[in-house]
Amino acid sequence: MSKLYVPRMHSAEHILNQVMVRKFECGRCFSAHVNKKKSKCDYHFGRELTDVEAQQIEAAVNEAILADLVVGAEMISLAEAAKLYNLTRLPDGAKEIRIVHVGDFDACPCIGEHVKRTSEIGTFLLSSHDFNDGVLRIRYKLIDSK
């Protein structure tokens, strides 16, 4: 794997994306930068978040983390994946797609490394957010629960 993955942060990104999809119907982030200390996700969005909405997002992500969901993966055919998922970021020539499941909460194509259970993630902290030219950027970090 050529890209450095941080399983806790990357798993938190999956949960954040599903929270955004459910709450705002905005789709998953179109750009993400995942690091050990802090990460960010960019969403196509129509406005700035309110502080209340930011708190609700943080609470919803932490609720999923605390649910101690099992994180796993399965391989499915390209034809099956095309019916269920957005494959625009898929590399050319792929015949099978790896789908990562976060319990029944989220599922999406992904090549990254993840935790085995959401309880391994720690506490999600939405550290800041801003809106510029149709892009909502959410920055987050994780606090060890240990």
What pLDDT shows up at residue 5?
A: 67
pTM as predicted: 0.93
Q: Pick the closest to residue 39 from 102, 124, 113 (CA basis).
A: 124
Residue pair 57/138 in contact by the 8 Å Cβ criterion: yes
Dihedral sign for Cα 47, 25, 110, 100, please. positive
2 CB-near residues (< 8 Å, 6+ apart): none
Question: What pLDDT, on the 0 to 100 scale, is given for residue 28?
Answer: 96
Provide the pLDDT for residue 39: 97
Tens-digit pLDDT string for the chain (146 aa)? 345 569 999 999 999 999 999 999 999 999 999 999 999 999 999 999 999 999 999 999 999 999 999 999 999 999 999 999 988 877 778 889 999 999 999 999 998 999 999 999 999 999 999 999 999 999 999 998 65
Instruction: Name which of 42, 23, 15 is nearest 108 in CA terms.
Output: 15
CATH fold of 7-143: Threonyl-tRNA Synthetase; Chain A, domain 2 (3.30.980)
